[in-house]
Amino acid sequence: MANHKITAHLWFDNNAKEAAEFYAGAFADSRITSAGVIRDTPSGDCDIVSFELRGQPFMAISAGPLFKFNPSVSFMVNFDPSTDAAARAHLDELWKQLSDGGSVLMPLQAYPFSEHYGWVQDRFGVSWQLILTNPAGEPRPAIIPALMFTQGVAGRAEEAIDLYCSVFKDSKRGTTARYGKGMEPDQEGTLMFADFFIGNTWLAAMDSAGRHDFTFNEAISLLIPCESQADIDYYWGKLSADPAAEQCGWLKDKFGLSWQVWPTAMGEMMASGTPEQLARVTKAFLPMKKFDLAALQAAYEGR
């Protein structure tokens, strides 16, 4: 993966560009890095936009009302008083912007794990956990994708972390906090919170055995940037567990989490190609399940 990070991919109905512009304005040190259109897909012409929020890469697409965001994948936003004297005020300002037109999942207040924390679903449906962090210990990035294991996969967060750390080279475990006795319906020993480092990216995971009406879906996927066909083959072989979900570089793992195994060359083609080249590449990739890098390159070059 070279030094690429895992990209958080967001599937919108028709407002990916509007959302990306909102996020780039709401978050400090953030920007849109590219924008374009994928034409003549089964969903019609789709806006696609890449952006970076405080060092975490995102990609968003407007591809129709097939999937809805839910809190099974959220984004933790760390505000560290040791590096920002106005961390609390900056947290409050971002909370104000994200909660405008959205819904509060956990109110902004003191909790046993943080003196200032809240969980909000913004007006686009994406969930954010804003936390005033304890500066003690190893630093963490400003934004961390967070996975909540619910319904049929509740209690399996640790199994998932073990799998992901075995698949990605140079992985490591970070903080681990477990449920104790008397914390039903969550089983003693399952993960209240844990974070881990894979693919140059920190992620977090937690179990929640409560009565949730949501679990993982394709609205948010994790995109693995690959430099070679060998990389594509490797990650695909290690992670794909549902042949019916394989399409256009997308797969689902054994826990139902969606990933995209994405050749970095594809991003370069999308950014610099002529309309004719992009049309050929789109026609080539739409029938694919796992991406064939040589076939995509041939389509791009008109061979």
Structural domains of the chain in order of their starting residue, each with its CATH number = 7-66+218-301 (3.10.180.10), 73-207 (3.30.720.110)
Radius of gyration in angstroms for the set of CA atoms belonging to the chain, rounded to a whole number:
19
The model carries a pTM of 0.95
What's the pLDDT score for residue 94? 98
Q: Count CA atoms within 13 Å of residue 295 on its CB side.
A: 11
What's the pLDDT score for residue 267? 84
Residue 186's nearest CA partner among 178, 194, 196 is 178
Count of residues in the chain: 303
What's the pLDDT score for residue 44? 82
204 burial class (0-12, 13-18, 19+ CB within 10 angstroms)?
buried
Please state, in angstroms and rounded to a whole number, the distance separating the CA atoms of residues 96 and 106. 14
281 burial class (0-12, 13-18, 19+ CB within 10 angstroms)?
buried
Q: Count CA atoms within 13 Å of residue 258 on its CB side.
A: 23
Tell me the pLDDT of the chain (303 aa) as tens digits. Answer: 567 899 999 999 999 999 999 999 999 999 999 988 888 888 788 899 999 999 999 999 999 999 999 999 999 999 999 999 999 999 999 999 999 999 999 999 999 999 999 999 999 999 999 999 987 778 899 999 999 999 999 999 999 999 999 999 999 999 999 999 999 999 999 999 999 999 999 999 999 999 999 999 999 999 999 999 999 999 999 999 999 999 999 999 999 999 999 999 988 888 888 889 988 998 999 999 999 999 999 999 998
What's the pLDDT score for residue 138? 81
Residue 40's nearest CA partner among 282, 232, 250, 273 is 282
Hey, is 84 helix, strand or coil? coil
Q: What is the DSSP letter of 242?
A: -
What's the pLDDT score for residue 162? 98
Please state, in angstroms and rounded to a whole number, the distance separating the CA atoms of residues 84 and 33. 25
What's the pLDDT score for residue 156? 98
Two structure tokens written together for 140: 């963490």
Q: Is the dihedral of CA 215, 217, 220, 225 positive or negative?
A: positive
How far, in Å, are 30, 80, 105, 166, 228 from residue 62 at the CA level?
Answer: 21, 33, 25, 33, 27
Please state, in angstroms and rounded to a whole number, the distance separating the CA atoms of residues 58 and 113. 27
Please state, in angstroms and rounded to a whole number, the distance separating the CA atoms of residues 111 and 295. 53
Residues 6+ apart with CB under 8 A from 164: 171, 196, 198, 203
Please state, in angstroms and rounded to a whole number, the distance separating the CA atoms of residues 212 and 56. 28
Evaluate whether 70 touches 219 at the Cβ level (below 8 Å): yes
